[in-house]
Amino acid sequence: MNAEARTYQKGEIPGIIAINADVCKGCDSCKRYCPTGAITGMFGAIHSIDVEKCINCGQCLINCPFGSIYETVDTVDTVIVKLQDKNVTVVGIPAPAVRVAIGEEFGMADGSLVTKEMYGAMKKAGFEILDNNFAADLTIMEEGTEFIVRARHALFGEEAHGHKVGPLPQFTSCCPAWVRYVETRYPALIPNLSSAKSPQQMAGPLAKTYGALEVWKKPPETIYTVGIMPCTAKKFEASRPEFTSAYHFLKKEGKAGSDTPYPDVDTVLTTRDIARLFKKMKIDFTKVGETDGGPLAEYTGAGTIFGNTGGVMEAAVRTAYKVLTGNELQPLEFKKVRGMKGVKSASVTLMDTKYGKEVTVNLAVVNGIHGNIEPVLESIMAGTSPYHFIEVMNCPGGCVNGGGQPIKSDGSSWLRVALPLFGWK
């Protein structure tokens, strides 16, 4: 591990999160939330962020009591210009956690589920919609089946066709802060990450290929994809140079329409950003009415629960169970991986009908990297980990508590600390 080495590829956005020295009081709050110790500065002195160590999660930003931490990447005005350009089709990709939070920016009750109002506001602004829940369903089918391949390889020596099978335990890979954490701090464990892209990065190519050619009937190079995410690290993820799959696929097909590679996801707006965009465009979210999302806004409950801690694991277990046994998991809710505990674990025994053998799978869900991940990773490095499949979400609670979500002026996070003092549960 060499945290001092340059940790960005060419084209990636470094330093998405920064501290305003004029506002910083040196109170040290941010350090308590930073999972990588990227924040420097002594108590009482102005703090700053080491961009090489930062994984862009934005937890410091949403938890700074004085609002001194901000995002350096703001493309709200750029997106508005694209929306007003008749030669461009702007495709919004709203994540599961956005629809339960954006209402707060417009005075609605916390946690209001406003999917159809969100579609309505997006349509009014000029977006086409590819719901990220749809892509989350794709991700979980990929991750779930990849896990089956890895497990069968480990247990029965089954080989995959055309590629090397990764080791167990398999990590989820949809959290970009977590992926960067592994890449910069535990590169030896990169093969353990699922090779499946995150829902955002599956949605981008889908929009520029199938969406452009089959749904909206537009030239792919005129499609401008906008991830609408609860997450600041998604801005970094979209800038990764390897995510130009749509261009390279279309190039082979002779349909790229450009000699310059374009990104799968052109830009990312956080929940706060999209709310600001609606306000700038004078769209009253509370009065816009309900609208359907269109053909690329169909999804299952598995995609929906991605935004919560344990959601990806629960969805993966359902998928793996169905693929291995041919039956639906009963009951469908896998409650052992729900809840706010730092590390949750569970075992599932299921029958692999292909091999006619019962298999017990040990699962873990890491709810927040900070303070939870090190022992899990160290046990894997030492070869003593009991787990086969591990979900990791950087932010406590999952994406619903992401760094791009509305900043609560009267949040209740302090209750979690205070309640044990008074007895609760």
- Active site positions, annotated: 143, 146, 174, 194, 234, 237, 242, 399
Binding residue (CB under 8 A) for another protein from 33, 262, 278, 387 = 33
Identify the H or E element spanning 121.
helix 115-125
Coil, helix or strand at residue 392? strand
CA distances from 342 to 133, 225, 252, 395 (A): 25, 34, 46, 11
- Between 33 and 147, CB nearer to another protein: 33
Q: In whole angstroms, how far apart are CA 41 and each of 21, 46, 313, 339, 371?
A: 11, 6, 37, 34, 20
In 3D space, the residue among 125, 119, 120 whose CA is nearest the CA of residue 84 turns out to be 125
* Binding to another protein in span 67-106, by CB under 8 A: 67
Applying CB under 8 A, does 46 fall inside the site for another protein?
yes
**Inter-residue contact 151 to 143 (CB < 8 Å):** no
Nearer to another protein, 23 or 81 (CB): 23
| Choice between 33 and 285, CB closer to another protein | 33
Query: 205 vs 230, which CB is nearer to another protein?
Result: 230
Q: How far is CA 193 from the centre of its chain?
A: 14
Q: Whose Cβ is closer to another protein: residue 28's or residue 284's? A: 28
Integer angstrom CA distances of residue 361 from 104, 160, 316: 39, 20, 12
Q: Is 421 in the site for another protein (CB under 8 A)?
A: no
Does residue 32 touch another protein according to CB under 8 A? yes
Please state, in angstroms and rounded to a whole number, the distance separating the CA atoms of residues 329 and 301.
Answer: 13
Query: Which has the closest alpha carbon to 108: 89, 91, 121?
Result: 121
Q: Restricting to residues 201-260, which ones interact with another protein according to CB under 8 A?
A: none
x/- map, 373-412, another protein, by CB under 8 A: ----------------------------------xxxxxx
Cβ atoms within 10 Å, residue 300: 15
Minimal distance in Å, beta carbon 91 to another protein?
34
Per CB under 8 A, the segment of 61-69, 85-93, 252-260, 324-332 that binds another protein is 61-69
In sequence order, the 6+-apart residues with CB closer than 8 A to the CB of 38 are 49, 50, 51, 52, 53, 54, 55
Question: Applying CB under 8 A, does 287 fall inside the site for another protein?
Answer: no
Based on the shown chain and the rule CB under 8 A, indicate whether residue 355 belongs to the binding site for another protein: no
Q: Which stretch binds another protein (CB under 8 A): 39-47, 90-98, 120-128, 378-386?
A: 39-47
Q: Does 413 bind another protein (CB under 8 A)?
A: yes
- According to the binding rule CB under 8 A, does residue 41 interact with another protein? yes
Strands 48-49 and 39-40: antiparallel
160 or 418: whose CB is closer to another protein? 418
Binding site for another protein (CB under 8 A): 25-29, 32-33, 41-46, 63, 65-67, 407-414, 417-418
